[in-house]
Amino acid sequence: MTDHPLLDAESVARLVQANHILFAQGVVDGLGHVSVRHPSRPERFLLSCNRAPAMVRPEDIVCYDFDGNAVTPDAPRPYLERFIHAEIFRARPDVMSVVHSHSPNVIPFGATRQRLRPIFHMAGFLGEGTAHYDMRDAAGDTDLLVRNPELGRSLAEALGGCTCVLMRGHGSTTVGTSVEQAVYRAIYAEVNARLQSQAMGMGEVTYLTPREAQLAAEANDSQIQRSWDLWCRSVQKA
């Protein structure tokens, strides 16, 4: 499938690596997914078919439109929640990659509506906090899966201009201007959640100021490739 004209080989390779890295870093397990906007067709995006992230291969990558329809021929079964990616890409032209996960340390923040705030410089991208999404507000009682465009739009609206949205009873979704940045943010959102929980149990927490967070995020963005190269090497060895 990777020789199809809608499948950019370099983007496919990075997307496969992203899936493997997210699994190796404990952000996803058998579930969760990562996408990337098509580099030359911004109204399309690339996402694996319905497969566990650690098992994703280049031939599993499918090109979709913003209605969640596969535009590559004979596409295998899709993820139910491809509408997370479709509607965020539609609403946010600045977003080039989306990660959806159920990373365990983030989930309590969505359930308690606590803001996930940067406790250290590596999470400067969190700025003054995260967005929150409760599917009950849009659809009442559901199975909490974003399984149609309407729910995808409500999630994208909740995300707004933030880098991360916490999904009550479900997980979180993180975005970036590249697949490397989105993966970095998903990993460090989980790390920050763990550290923030620990610190909150110890006493009053001093978070990064908005300016500190901005400066830290800018510095970290210039170093993401170093971490990405290490993560790629780690999964290649594994």
Q: Mind telling me the catalytic residues?
A: 81
Alpha-carbon distance of 108 to 34, in angstroms, equals 22
Alpha-carbon distance of 33 to 99, in angstroms, equals 6
Which phi and psi (to 5°) does residue 110 adopt?
Answer: -70, -35
Alpha-carbon distance of 45 to 1, in angstroms, equals 15
Residue carrying structure tokens 């991208």? 125
Beta strands in 93-187 (DSSP E): 97-101, 131-133, 164-167, 171-176
Residue carrying structure tokens 């580099």? 39
H helices of the chain, in order, are: 9-24, 82-91, 107-112, 135-139, 149-159, 179-200, 210-221, 224-237
State the number of CA atoms in the 13 A half-sphere of 161 facing the CB. 2
Which phi and psi (to 5°) does residue 139 adopt?
Answer: -145, 10
Mapped onto helix, strand or coil, the DSSP state of residue 64 is: strand
Dihedral sign for Cα 221, 45, 61, 6, please: negative
Mapped onto helix, strand or coil, the DSSP state of residue 36 is: strand
